[in-house]
Chains A and B, each alone.
Chain A
Amino acid sequence: MGPFYFFMTPNKFTAVIFLVFAIVVLGVWIPNDVETGLLEKMRRHWVIGDSLAPTLAAGFVLFGAALILLFEKRDEAQFTMAAAQFVFFLKLVIVILVALSVMRHLGPILINTYAAISGLELEYRLLRDVIGVKHIGFLIGGMIMIGGMIAVVEGRLSHRALVIGLIWSLVLILVYDLPFEDLLLPPNGDV
């Protein structure tokens, strides 16, 4: 047990987090973000309102957290979360977010840049059926995702990791995109 758990047992810490979450959902989110109550009168009949189901759902969370707090706070099933573990996880998420961003924007940015330089009227949306153009974002984004994640685990970025990422992205293009006309790889469904 360390300062991370704010001097509680890890189970008590878990319970408190979910207890607070459930209270916020019940006290703030549901009342302010659902238009109808638990029961509503419609055309002189009472019907179940939209609030009932999420209230029960939050009730499950609340009841579960209360059970842990009351009966399971000293159970053997305690979790551990070290700072190094958190940093490692954060790095993975950042790599994925960067890769997704590249996947989404690289193709359009390249086409816009080329259009600006060449003076041609080009638009990514109109070129998204062209082999190569439609794959560039996925290819480079996929390479960054896999290469970056491998690098996070290995503690260093290697050419090998990037090549693996590139090859695997190519394989996925061959599996998902080339044989099927109706399947779209990122970002071709968004543009």
Chain B
Amino acid sequence: MSVLDYIWLGILAVFQGPEAFSIFGLAISITVIMVISGFFLGILVGATPGLAGPVAMAISLPILISTFGYNTDALLPVLGFLIGVMKGATVGGAVPAILFNTPGTPDAFMTTLDGYPMAKRGEAKRALRIAHFSSVSGDTFSDLVLIIGAPFLAIMVERYLDLPEKTALLILSLSFISAVVGGSVGRGLISTGLGLLAVYVGTGEDFYPRLSVGTQTLAQGFPISTSVLGVLIIGAVFKELDDLRSDQRASRMKPITTSDTNSALTLAERIKLAPTIFRSAVIGTVVGALPGIGSTLAATLGYTAAKRRHDDAEGGKFGEGVPKGIAATEAANSAVSGANLMPVLSLGIPGNAAAVFLLLAMDSISGFNPSPTVFKFDPVNLNPELVMAFGIFTTMFLANALNWTVGGRVMRSMGFMIRIPKHILLPSVLLLTLTAIYVQETRIEALYFALGFGVLGYLMRVFGISPLPFVIAFILGAKLEETARQAYAATGNDPWFLFTHPIAAVFVALSVGVMILTSRKRGSV
């Protein structure tokens, strides 16, 4: 079988999968319907301040699993829906940023800098069009790089990385995340350490479940949904409510209406924005391919790079309503999502919160285990995981096609979402999250765990500690220990296996190096 055969089978798996209904005899596959539904839901939640793509992904996952089951047939509809949400939310996040000066998603913060001033000048619709055009361009670019890059990354991993190197790579990923996410290296390390500690409770190889304090409750460990949703979503709900308490002004602010009539972007304007969009798309893609950094940093880097090259005399000052400012931010943060799937698909290492939920879905449903073997081109025997991988890529491009065609119109019509009062929305999200956890775990203890992790997530945010390293460490912790155990055994009980294998040693050196460099850089700012 050639590469083209695999690609074609992947496309067919999406369009000729189980039928949802037919129109004039033409069968519409359930995967297509799920991508469309996810995409519209994503725009809706992205446009709602206080909600974000991962919230919708987390809450819909148990419903999706319950509807489609755990077998391989469920994979594309479920992942298609989640990918649709992820992409829709990225676009939708710009709506409140521009109209309300409040980012719908954290990575849209930089969009407020030029988007809101443009909206205040009466160019709200135009600003939204720029945001949409840049976002979808960056996203599509990133997806192309993913399709080309992921198989190569997988081949490199398979060829050069054995167990010691894989252990070192996981350490490098965690160090990298610790160093670059959040307020400081120290805080990142604390977050990572807490995540690892939490995942090691109630596990281990001994008969006695470690760190369980002799209780049956802790002996089963913390379910992944309680820790991830607790720290990420419940913690965020607490923090948002807290911010609301301290800043009542924001809830009374009137949104800006989108009444400007001449808002269309001409071809010349699009061409003028193209270099900025391309530069930011490259930045976002590179950042996205590295685990843990995420779209917020990509947006910041994209914006800074565009600002540095911008001539104030030509189009006004950055921060005062310059279209390039919006384009730079939106292209960069949207370009993260595709590239972020590179480490997810080929290594099983999530790079951001959205990737965490995609990985959880892949773990729950059988038939697709993210690893280098996914991209093994077998010319004789069919590799079903590779077909699925191309199916996943097809759903991404389907979502992109929706984004190019109807996404802008839908996005611009979402301004009403900012009128939902946050202090009503957030408790509703909390109950929704707890319900989603209960239907997965079916025991009330899980809700207390989730609440506990929510309190932890809130306190971490208060202390300026990013919860993302915690979540990623929680997900990778078991894998890190297992790989280390295997590497130790495979190297004949060599306690120095991380240093005696050259590539592993380089990864360890990089882990230390990235922390020192980040500390020094922060110290010199």
Q: Which residues of A contact B (CB under 8 A)?
A: 14-15, 18, 22, 25, 29-30, 33-36, 39, 45-54, 56-68, 71-72, 75, 77-79, 81, 85, 88-89, 92-93, 96-97, 100, 103-104, 138, 142, 145-146, 149-150, 153-154, 164-165, 168-169, 172, 175-176, 180, 182-190
Determine chain B's interface SS by DSSP, over half rule.
Answer: helix
Q: Which residues of B contact A142 (CB under 8 A)?
A: 431
Which residue of A53, A96, A164 contacts B481 across the interface (Cβ within 8 Å)?
Answer: A53
Q: Answer yes or no: B443 CB below 8 A from chain A CBs.
A: yes
Interface residues on B, range: 35 or more
Closest A residue to B218 by beta carbon equals A33
Known: A164-B424, A189-B438. A57 touches B188 (CB 8 A): no
Query: Which residues of B are found within 8 Å of A59, using beta-carbon distances?
Result: 193
Chain B residues 304 to 362 lying within 8 A of chain A, measured CB to CB, are none
Q: State in angstroms the CA–CA spacing of A185 and B48 once bound together.
A: 26
Evaluate contact between A53 and B193: CB separation under 8 angstroms. no
Bound CA–CA A154/B424 (angstroms)? 10
List the B side residues contacting A62 at CB < 8 Å: 193
Question: In residues 168-195 of chain B, which contact A (Cβ within 8 Å)?
Answer: 178, 183-194
Which segment of B238-246, B261-269, B389-397 sits at the interface?
A: B238-246
Given A29-B211, A33-B213, A153-B245: A61 touches B443 (CB 8 Å cut-off)? no
Interchain CB contact under 8 A, B211 and A182:
no
Asked whether B206 lies within 8 Å of A48 as measured between CB atoms, the reply is no
- Cβ-defined contact, B455 with A60, below 8 A: no
Q: Shortest CB–CB separation between residue A123 and chain B, in angstroms?
A: 18
Residues of A within 8 A of B473 (CB): 57
Cβ of A58: which chain B residues have Cβ within 8 Å of it?
A: 193, 197
Contacting residues of chain B (276-313) with chain A, CB-CB under 8 angstroms? none
CB distance from A100 to the nearest CB of B (A): 6
Q: Is B25 an interface residue (CB 8 A)?
A: no
Are A53 and B200 CB-contacts (below 8 A) given A48-B485, A176-B63?
Answer: yes
**In the complex, the 6 A-B pairs of residues with the closest C-beta atoms, listed nearest first:** A189-B442, A60-B193, A64-B189, A57-B196, A61-B193, A67-B186
Question: From A187, which residue of chain B is reached at the shortest CB distance?
Answer: B444
Bound Cα distance from A164 to B424, whole angstroms: 8
B72 interface contact, C-beta 8 A:
no
Nearest residue (CB) in A for B204 is A50
* B21: interface (CB < 8 Å): no
Stretch at the interface among B101-109, B131-139, B458-466: B458-466
Distance (whole angstroms) from the CB of A28 to the closest CB of chain B: 11
Bound CA–CA A105/B462 (angstroms): 33
Whether A92 contacts B431 in the complex (CB less than 8 A), given A60-B178, A77-B184, comes out as no
> Could you give 25 example pairs across A and B, Cβ below 8 Å?
A33-B214, A34-B208, A35-B206, A36-B204, A50-B210, A51-B210, A54-B200, A60-B178, A64-B186, A64-B191, A67-B184, A68-B184, A68-B187, A75-B184, A77-B183, A79-B462, A85-B245, A89-B242, A103-B444, A146-B424, A146-B430, A154-B423, A180-B66, A182-B66, A185-B435
Q: Which residue of B lies closest to A161 (CB)?
A: B424
